Structure 1
């Protein structure tokens, strides 16, 4: 099954930061390689239709001082029984609440595609609620707020949604062309598309975290101006890097991307 869209592994419960045991609350994060006293925690937000397992190889490429928390959205993998969320506020708020026990270390946020928008909202809400925001925000494969293409695919039939997913991610074909597997993932895909298409960021929204924007040179939905438009949304520094590849450039260039993220974390967190 495709690692990009699928339900190939169960998400286990994650303990509190001090390792005191499992929590009965919803499992918002996968902690693939626990680190007792990390210098920084990198919180990773999946794309539409994606799940925490998209980041399961990342800890092996990160410095030993960086602990990764992969966000597990409801309605997929170990949270199949949890209702999908199709509204930005309803998704971002509980993630911020769930992150509160992990604020004993500096946080950095990374999000790809839809996950970049969720990470941006979470960054602003952490700062508003706690007075101190994340140390860094990495946005990937997503135009700045107000620069994403308008569409209403979430209101259309399954075939229209499937066609758009495959337009960006041909590797998802084995899942989406199998009737049984497709039934497992269509609910989360539709919810994620609705969240993305109905998301309306606050005017002049910004974060105190420095923003680094990543994009594939051949991403069909993003041009350089869409990426550079992230600059006004940070009150700290802005930088960008363009990789070879399309919307999912980060799959073949995973090592280079993680190396770049790690280098920037050394100077910001």
Structure 2
């Protein structure tokens, strides 16, 4: 792929809300189902200048709303890996929320297997371990059923959903995203070498404490679990504590990477 092609691909998929030319590490943020890069804009401002934050913009939403949505985890990972393979100027950390946690994990698996990038660690939130299973069928509901799920999880300002134009704009990507994550099947393979940090809401109906703890099964590196007050979108109400947790994980990942291995 030529440099112009890589630049065009990067321009479609990555958003950077705060320049960080002196950053020591790049955090790649993977949004939730129905989410967009702008969800992480506050985080981009909260993390210090030592961290470059690149937010993924999936097709089918906001400025990419005229592009076809993706409806399998594999299709997402294929595209995201193509975007991230050239990002070799700094070590990477992946941070994904909900569906984004699955995408971050599978992208980490792929790129670690290829030894394509310097991955320091994976941070996941609002998602059970991929080694656990639940039978979920939100993607099979009618439009009203999908919107009811979003309202129940409080992931979108419910006032926005009163606007018919907005509903029709977001429903295709919501259905496609739910299809991708609910039809995802974890395949056995080598554990990640990178450490994994897990953030979870104490009242999240999507994740029990036991399901969150089982993320330890997917890594041979370090493991850390932190619980926060709130439900599935505890990130919204716990911005300060979550930012501190991310900062601590980034520091731990960097320290582990610089430690001599026996």
SS of the equivalent of 1:135 reads: strand
SS of the equivalent of 1:120 reads: helix
Deviates more, 1:161-170 or 1:226-235: 161-170
The equivalences for 1:166-177 within 5 A come to 166-169=151-154, 171-177=156-162
Identify which of 95, 111, 119 aligns with 2:104. 119
Give the unaligned 5+ runs of structure 1: 1-15
Identify which of 50, 63, 74 aligns with 1:89. 74
The equivalences for 1:59-208 within 5 A come to 59-130=44-115, 134-169=119-154, 171-204=156-189, 206-208=191-193
Query: What TM-score results when the alignment is normalised by the length of structure 1?
Result: 0.88
CA displacement 1:231-251 (0-9 Å, x = unmatched): 010110111000001111111
**How much is the aligned-residue C-alpha RMSD, in angstroms?**
1.9
SS of the equivalent of 1:23 reads: helix
CA displacement 1:155-190 (0-9 Å, x = unmatched): 221011111111111643122222111000000100
Cα distance in 2, alignment partners of residues 158 and 31 from structure 1: 32
Cα distance in 2, alignment partners of residues 181 and 101 from structure 1: 35
SS of the equivalent of 2:105 reads: helix
Q: How many residues align?
A: 251
SS of the equivalent of 1:154 reads: helix
Kept in 1, the 8 Å contact 2:23–2:50? The answer is: yes
SS of the equivalent of 1:42 reads: strand
SS of the equivalent of 1:32 reads: coil
Paired residue for 1:12? none
Kept in 1, the 8 Å contact 2:128–2:212? The answer is: yes
CA displacement 1:113-133 (0-9 Å, x = unmatched): 010000000111111122555
Paired residue for 1:9? none
Paired residue for 1:245? 230
Deviates more, 1:88-97 or 1:151-160: 151-160
Deviates more, 1:156-165 or 1:241-250: 156-165
Kept in 2, the 8 Å contact 1:145–1:201? The answer is: yes
Evaluate the alpha carbon distance shift between residue 172 and residue 46 of structure 1 in structure 2; reply closer, same or farther with a 3 A threshold.
Answer: same
Paired residue for 2:217? 232
Cα distance in 1, alignment partners of residues 167 and 119 from structure 2: 36
CA displacement 1:2-57 (0-9 Å, x = unmatched): xxxxxxxxxxxxxx9xxx9x922361110111222420000000000000000111
1:39 aligns with 2:24: yes
SS of the equivalent of 1:257 reads: helix
SS of the equivalent of 2:227 reads: strand
SS of the equivalent of 1:173 reads: coil
Is the helix fraction higher in 1 or 2?
2
Cα distance in 2, alignment partners of residues 80 and 220 from structure 1: 30
SS of the equivalent of 1:144 reads: coil
1:30 aligns with 2:18: no
CA displacement 1:199-222 (0-9 Å, x = unmatched): 011125521110111111011121
